Structures are given as C-alpha cells and as structure tokens.
Amino acid sequence: MSATSKQNSLFLTLRPWLISAFVLVGLVLLVQQLAKPNAVEREGKKAAAGGDFLVSAAAVKRTDLPVYFNGLGTVTAYNTVIVRSRVDGELLKVLFEEGQEVKAGDLLAQIDPRSFRVALEQAEGAQQRDQAQLQNAQIDLERYRGLFAQDSIAKQTLDTQLALVNQYQGTLKANQAAVNQAKLNLQFTEVRAPISGRLGLRKVDVGNLISTGDTTGIVVITQVKPIAVVFSLPEQQLPLILQQMATGKPLPVVALDRNQSLQLADGVLATLDNQIDITTGTLKLKARFDNNDKALFPNQFVNVRLLAQTLTDALVIPANAVQRGTQGSFVYVLDDSDKVHLRNISVGATTGEQLQVLSGLSFGERVVTEGVDRLREDMQVKVAESPLPTAPAVPTAAKNGPGV
C-alpha cells in the first residue's frame, strides 16, 4: 500500500471524530453567548437592589420665571422713500455719497434751474403789467364816482368801471398764483431729502434728463433709526399678550441672529396687526428698536424673543426631570431614604432649562434629573453630590403659556 493510500484511510477513520469535535466546540460557544445577557441582567438587578445605581437630583425651588415667546422676524425700515424729481430737466449735480446718512432737508441733487428762472421772470412781468392796469382802472372808478355824484354820467358807466376793476383784481390774483408756481418749480430744482435715513445706491447719473414720471427715482432713503421688526406668533399666544399690553407696560423684545447665539438689539413691542392670518393661524406684530449702533439692517432675517410675562414666586424644576407617558407628565421623587417614587404632575411655562410646576410637587422636594430612563417605583438609588453639568442655552419660547 502506498503512502497516499495510507493517509486517505487514516482521514476516513478520523473524520467522524473531527466532525463531532467541531460540533461540540460550536455548542459550547453558543451557550456562552446566550448566557451573557442573563448575567448582565442579573448584575443590573443586583446593583439596583444594592442601591449602587447613581442618579442626579435637584430640589424644587421658587423663583421668578420669565415667559418668552419666540418667532421669526424681518427687519423693516420705519419709512422708505423713493426720491423723485418734481420737475423735468437735466441733472446737473449729485451732492451725496451712496450709503450716506442724511437728515431731512439735506440737498441731494441739482436740476438745471435756468428755464425755471425765465418762467418766474415771465410770470412776474405779467403780474406787473396787470398791476398797472388795475391801478389805472381804480383811478377811473374814483373819477366816475365823483361824476355820478354830480349826476354827470349814467349809473351804467359807473357799474361797468367797477366790473373792470374787479376783473383786473381777479387777473392779478391769477398772476400771483403763476408767480408762486414759478417760484415753487424753481425751488424744486434743488432735490432735498424728505426724511432722515440712509441712502441707497444712486439710480441716475449726472447729465441725464429726468422727469416727474420716472419710477426708479434718483435714490432711495430708508429710515434705520429707529427701525422696526415684523414677526409672527401663534394665535393661542395672543390672549396673554393682549392682557399684558392692557396694563400699559411695554413688553421687551430682543432680536437675535439666525443661530440665536448673538443678541443684536433690544426693543419694545410697538403694535399688533388687526387680524389673524387664517391660512397660518398666526398674528403679525411689530417691535420698535432704536438701532443707534445700526446692528439691524432693512430686510434682515432675525429671531425674535418677546418677554410676554414674568411669573413671580413660581415652583420651578429642571426641564430634563420631566418625563411624559400615557398618563401625562411625571417625575421621579426621592424620599429621605433615597428611594424613588413616580409622581404625576401638571406643568406650565417652559423657559430654557426651567419648567413651571402647577401641581404635584412641593417646595424643597427632590426630583431625579439624570438617570431617569432606568428607574422603577421604590427603587433604591445613590444620589450624586452635584448634578451633571449641562451646556447653557438661550431661553426658548413658552410652548403653551402658563396654566396650559
């Protein structure tokens, strides 16, 4: 028998034993894997029963809780004016810089005044002519009155002269109106700022003929000090705002950047719109900002935070202590022996990391804030000396307002 044949015979003899050994090893590994979860569960129950489960807690306290309403807003200029020419003519001078801050009455541009000066002189000449005619008619009227008193002329002649004097007086008033109109047109050749504000980009260049019918105008002025922010809030928040406005106290408003990380300006609520948008169920509000530092810019999108109310002496707990289930909101309360008990509560306003408690808790009681996801009724726990640190957050809007 050759060596190869011997090897094949030996393999066939040992193959059943090898297969059995592999199967046995597989069964051992499977039993070990199935036993691991049970061991972990037993260790968890053992730790819970021994009071080694670590949690963080906070006491129920009383404090003044500000109630904020948040919304998205658009910065709007209080006044926007397109500066147009009120007379037709050639633009001789542009006396402003783009982006310049101007005051009402500042000279912005000059239109060729020569034709308007000629028109004024013409109107004044006609006025002087008619003034002389009136004076002559008045002298004749006085002469006719003397003759009529002497019964030297007919009454009709006197009446005709009186009518002529009245005619010249009417003509003289029309002449005066023409002179005033010519002076006004000459004055309009100097284009002045109608309001104070910031100038935009120039719309026309020197040398162009401009007219009163131009829709683009010469430049646009936007009033940026003060400035307004228009934003929207849900209609269910309207009753509280109306209640606070009825007291006569201004409601503070803060404008934040897009990320709500930078406070841009402080202002006050100015007014409300007169109707609710039925398509969105929101109401538009306008806030006023002094904007002395020019931090707000027209058409800029901002986040708005309105201080609607400050709840005095409110019961407050950390918001992360509250859990929500089928029975509503609840917390885990710690007794004197550091055992936890589930307690249903009624909550009110939420501001940042703080939440108002309307019922279910008393001042000084301790509630679990960290580790609540694995707690059970009457479970013995170990309380950490201090709560786990949390990142600061910008106060957010009260979701339902107090008492909701």
pLDDT for 391: 40
The least confident of 121-130, 160-169, 176-185, 332-341 is: 332-341
C-alpha 21: how far from chain center = 76
**In 10 A of CB 280, how many CB atoms?**
10
C-alpha 273: how far from chain center = 14
Domains of the chain: 54-69+311-383 (2.40.420.20), 70-78+224-309 (2.40.30.170), 81-221 (2.40.50.100)
Tell me the mean pLDDT in the region 1-12. Answer: 52
State how far the Cα of 386 lies from the Cα of 59, in Å rounded to an integer. Answer: 11
Whole-structure pTM value: 0.66
pLDDT for 25: 67
Beta strands 301-318 and 382-383: pairing type?
unpaired
pLDDT for 33: 63
pLDDT for 99: 92
| pLDDT bucket at 324, cuts 50 / 70 / 90 | confident
pLDDT for 311: 87
Q: What is the pLDDT of residues 88-126, one digit of tens each?
A: 999 999 999 999 999 999 999 999 999 999 999 999 999
DSSP string covering 335-361: -TTSBEEEEE-EEEEEETTEEEEEES-
Residue partners of 311: CB distance under 8 A and separation at least 6 = 64, 65, 66, 67, 348, 349, 356, 402
Residue partners of 180: CB distance under 8 A and separation at least 6 = none
State how far the Cα of 349 lies from the Cα of 364, in Å rounded to an integer. Answer: 20
What is the sign, positive or negative, of the torsion defined by CA atoms of 375, 377, 379, 381? positive
Q: What is the pLDDT of residues 226-243, one digit of tens each?
A: 999 999 999 999 999 999
